[in-house]
């Protein structure tokens, strides 16, 4: 049975258009073919009307809509009103439609070929985020002696999570990667002797194809270990690393020419020789510790200790005796219970850390009473709770690679034993998702709660904290669900596929008792047929359907617009989402 014919009589069209900078696309726009649009005698004029909107659903006012004839001449043009509406009257026929609009303070243009205009044609246009062709960066990674370094991971990162690109250097130390123009943190990471060294420097401005050579390495310095009597300690295990919190260790050299500050994160270790000496990389502001050698029961470990930003050479360490270590380290106890406002216990770890690194930590048992007990020397500590969301809904786990809950108190003064119960301020936020027509719809949704230094949460008296909580789930058939959020925080809601949402919303503080997300996607529905005109047995046969478009991108571009919504069984609808990369 032949496929059903396309319903060409329906003139109400809805189109998603990717707008690309006019300067970037001028070559491809000029080559569009046009059909003859000469008016036909006795045929009334036609009308083209519609609305221009952004991908978020907002109207695109002051956009210019132009109709071009077969020669590329301007037949008619207009500007959208404050509601994004436009209307043009021309002879019925086929035209090219051009839309010029402003997105994020930049003007972009796109053309739509073969627009057939009848007596009354409606065309709604959705303007998605512009796709900017990437530029290429090449260079060579060398060590401090100028030798090429193969196998080095090179990466460009823009912001906290948006990595511009990464690659690994070739056997000759060269690399090549592509990234969108912007301002980046540049990083290089390699392994040596089972240890990882990671360098980065920020504020690299990438505007065009560029060449950028990188320099990395690990300058070795002698470390000498003595006992309290001044005798060398042979066979001691010495470990050096960057601080666990707030690492801003200076590498002592520039990652690339003009780098304002090169920061390193690393760890290395080794045993002292007969003279009590071992060579280790000592970057500025690091942390060092010593474990006694086998058979030296009279020696105690030297705990993590900060060494100077510019350590002397050699760096001499004194490993204490057991008697000295036992008598010199008083401790205080910090204990209590951790729960959220609803009484749930997070599947997390609570920890105290000082400038030299971790001091003590304890896991919280979700099946227990949420109790903890930490023992540390008196002093000032950073308190953190790090783990998974507090509601323990298996369907609510965001599924990401990192825990969903992180809380940090910058300074907690512990000069005596302290019993302190901690309440994570959370609340339930009812959420409803509506499609473009205002109808409730089932869809996945994620809530990101952020408490910043300017808008912190309070865990207990005198302890304000920054925090981040992610909860996610799916709405029911009535479009509703309830997620956990941090009270008093800014909550960002996204419906759809994670970083490519179909709709977003935001809630500030506790001003809103509920939230509504309006989807900006359009819907394409139909029936999938095989060559015989039938789908097959819907109870066991299935297929995937995707939509691809690559407007105005060069042939080598890797930017595509792909979205697979769901498995089709018989007849189901397909939602066309926003831009993606593959």
Q: What's the pLDDT tens digit per position in 129-184?
A: 555 567 889 999 999 999 999 999 999 887 644 456 789 999 999 999 888 777 88
The answer on 78 and 42 residing in a single domain is: yes
CATH of the domain at 275: 2.60.40.1120
Query: Does residue 2 belong to any structural domain of this protein?
Result: no
Least confident window among 60-69, 101-110, 229-238: 101-110
Mark which of 215, 243, 265 sits at the end of a domain.
215
> How far is residue 186's CA from residue 139's CA, in Å, rounded to a whole number?
12
Q: Residues 6 or more apart from 375 whose CB is under 8 A from it?
A: 331, 332, 333, 334, 360
pLDDT in tens, 93-105: 888 888 887 765 5
* Domain count across the chain: 5
The answer on 104 and 47 residing in a single domain is: yes
Query: Does residue 355 belong to any structural domain of this protein?
Result: yes
The answer on 118 and 54 residing in a single domain is: yes
The answer on 348 and 288 residing in a single domain is: no
> How far is residue 254's CA from residue 237's CA, in Å, rounded to a whole number?
31
Encoding tokens for residue 244?
Answer: 């666990």
Three-class secondary structure of residue 531 per DSSP? coil
pLDDT in tens, 442-455: 888 888 888 888 88
Q: Give the pLDDT of residue 327.
A: 62
The total of other beta-carbon atoms located within 10 Å of residue 369's CB is 10
CATH of the domain at 38: 2.60.40.10
The answer on 267 and 308 residing in a single domain is: yes
Query: Does residue 233 belong to any structural domain of this protein?
Result: yes
> How far is residue 443's CA from residue 478's CA, in Å, rounded to a whole number?
10
Q: Give the pLDDT of residue 101.
A: 78
Of these ranges, 25-29, 220-224, 493-497, 559-563, the one predicted with the greatest mean pLDDT is 220-224
Mark which of 263, 295, 327 sits at the end of a domain.
327
Query: Does residue 448 belong to any structural domain of this protein?
Result: no
pLDDT band at 55 (very low <50, low <70, confident <90, very high): low
Query: Does residue 434 belong to any structural domain of this protein?
Result: no
Query: Does residue 459 belong to any structural domain of this protein?
Result: no
Three-class secondary structure of residue 163 per DSSP? strand
The answer on 123 and 104 residing in a single domain is: yes
The answer on 367 and 269 residing in a single domain is: no
The answer on 419 and 398 residing in a single domain is: yes
Give the CA angle between residues 498, 501, 502 to the nearest 5°: 145
The answer on 76 and 152 residing in a single domain is: no
Mark which of 392, 407, 424 sits at the end of a domain.
424
> How far is residue 37's CA from residue 96's CA, in Å, rounded to a whole number?
10
> How far is residue 145's CA from residue 164's CA, in Å, rounded to a whole number?
29
> How far is residue 571's CA from residue 574's CA, in Å, rounded to a whole number?
10
The total of other beta-carbon atoms located within 10 Å of residue 192's CB is 14
Nearest to 406 by CA among 357, 449, 370, 458: 449
The answer on 251 and 201 residing in a single domain is: no
Q: Give the pLDDT of residue 349.
A: 86
> How far is residue 515's CA from residue 281's CA, in Å, rounded to a whole number?
53
> How far is residue 122's CA from residue 35's CA, in Å, rounded to a whole number?
20
Query: Does residue 407 belong to any structural domain of this protein?
Result: yes
> How far is residue 198's CA from residue 157's CA, in Å, rounded to a whole number?
14
pLDDT band at 373 (very low <50, low <70, confident <90, very high): confident
> How far is residue 527's CA from residue 432's CA, in Å, rounded to a whole number?
29
Separation in Å, CA 224 to CA 236, 273, 314, 317, 538: 10, 9, 7, 6, 74
Q: Give the pLDDT of residue 403.
A: 57
Nearest to 218 by CA among 283, 313, 171: 283
> How far is residue 415's CA from residue 145's CA, in Å, rounded to a whole number?
49
pLDDT band at 313 (very low <50, low <70, confident <90, very high): confident
Query: Does residue 155 belong to any structural domain of this protein?
Result: yes
Range of the domain at 293: 220-327
Share of the chain above pLDDT 90, in %: 21
Q: Give the pLDDT of residue 420.
A: 92
The answer on 180 and 83 residing in a single domain is: no
Three-class secondary structure of residue 442 per DSSP? coil
Give the residue, 346 or 160, on which the prediction is more confident: 346
With beta carbons less than 8 A apart as the criterion, state whether 103 and 49 touch: no
pLDDT band at 571 (very low <50, low <70, confident <90, very high): very low
The answer on 271 and 190 residing in a single domain is: no
Nearest to 474 by CA among 428, 520, 429, 431: 431
> How far is residue 489's CA from residue 499's CA, in Å, rounded to a whole number?
21
pLDDT in tens, 73-94: 788 999 999 888 999 999 998 8
């Amino acid at each position: 049975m032949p496929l059903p014919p396309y319903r060409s009589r329906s003139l109400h069209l809805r189109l998603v258009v990717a707008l690309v900078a006019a300067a970037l696309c001028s070559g491809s726009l000029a080559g569009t073919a046009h059909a003859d649009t000469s008016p036909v005698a006795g045929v009334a004029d036609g009308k083209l009307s519609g609305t221009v909107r952004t991908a978020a659903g907002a109207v695109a006012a002051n956009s210019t809509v132009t109709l071009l004839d077969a020669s590329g001449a301007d037949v008619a043009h207009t500007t959208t009103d404050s509601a994004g509406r436009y209307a043009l009257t021309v002879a019925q026929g086929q035209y090219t439609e051009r839309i010029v609009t402003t997105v994020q303070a930049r003007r972009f243009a796109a053309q739509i070929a073969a627009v057939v205009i009848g007596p009354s044609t409606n065309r709604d246009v959705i303007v998605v985020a512009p796709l900017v062709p990437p530029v290429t960066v090449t260079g060579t990674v060398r060590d401090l002696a100028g030798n090429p370094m193969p196998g080095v991971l090179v990466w460009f990162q823009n912001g906290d999570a948006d990595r511009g690109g990464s690659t690994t250097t070739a056997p000759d130390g060269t690399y090549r990667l592509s990234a969108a123009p912007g301002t980046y943190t540049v990083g290089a990471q390699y392994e040596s002797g089972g240890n990882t060294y990671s360098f980065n420097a920020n504020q690299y401005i990438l505007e065009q194809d560029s060449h950028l050579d990188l320099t990395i390495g690990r300058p070795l310095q002698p470390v000498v270990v003595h006992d309290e009597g001044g005798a060398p300690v042979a066979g001691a295990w010495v470990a050096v690393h960057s601080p666990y919190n707030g690492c801003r260790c200076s590498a002592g050299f520039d990652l690339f020419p003009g780098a304002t500050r090169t920061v390193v994160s690393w760890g290395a270790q080794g045993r002292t020789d007969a003279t009590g000496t071992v060579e280790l990389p000592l970057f500025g502001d690091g942390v060092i510790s010593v474990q006694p050698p086998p058979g030296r029961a009279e020696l105690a470990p030297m705990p993590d200790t900060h060494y100077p930003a510019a350590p002397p050479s050699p760096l001499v360490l004194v490993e204490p005796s057991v008697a000295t270590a036992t008598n010199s380290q008083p401790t205080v106890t910090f204990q209590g219970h951790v729960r959220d406002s609803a009484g749930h216990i997070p599947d997390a770890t609570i920890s105290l850390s000082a400038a030299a690194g971790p001091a003590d930590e304890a896991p919280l048992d979700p099946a227990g009473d949420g109790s903890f007990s930490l023992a540390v020397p008196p002093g000032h500590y950073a308190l953190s709770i790090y783990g998974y969301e507090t509601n323990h809904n298996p369907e609510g786990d965001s599924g990401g690679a990192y825990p969903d809950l992180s809380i940090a108190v910058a300074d907690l003064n512990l000069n005596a034993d302290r019993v302190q119960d901690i309440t994570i301020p959370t609340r339930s936020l009812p959420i409803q998702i509506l499609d473009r027509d205002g109808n409730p719809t089932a869809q996945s949704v994620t809530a990101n709660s952020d408490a910043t230094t300017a808008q912190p949460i309070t865990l207990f008296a005198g302890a304000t904290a920054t925090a981040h909580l992610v909860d996610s789930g799916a709405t029911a058939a009535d479009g509703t669900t309830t997620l956990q959020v941090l009270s008093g925080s800014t909550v960002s809601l996204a419906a759809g596929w994670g970083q490519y949402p179909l709709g977003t919303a935001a809630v500030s503080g506790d001003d809103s008792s509920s939230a509504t997300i309006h989807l900006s996607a359009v819907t394409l529905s139909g029936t999938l047929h095989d060559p015989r005109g039938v789908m097959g047995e819907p109870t066991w046969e299935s297929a995937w359907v995707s939509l691809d478009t690559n407007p105005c991108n060069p042939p080598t571009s890797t930017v595509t617009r792909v979205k697979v919504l769901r498995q089709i069984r018989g007849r189901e609808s397909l939602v066309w989402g926003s831009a993606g990369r593959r």
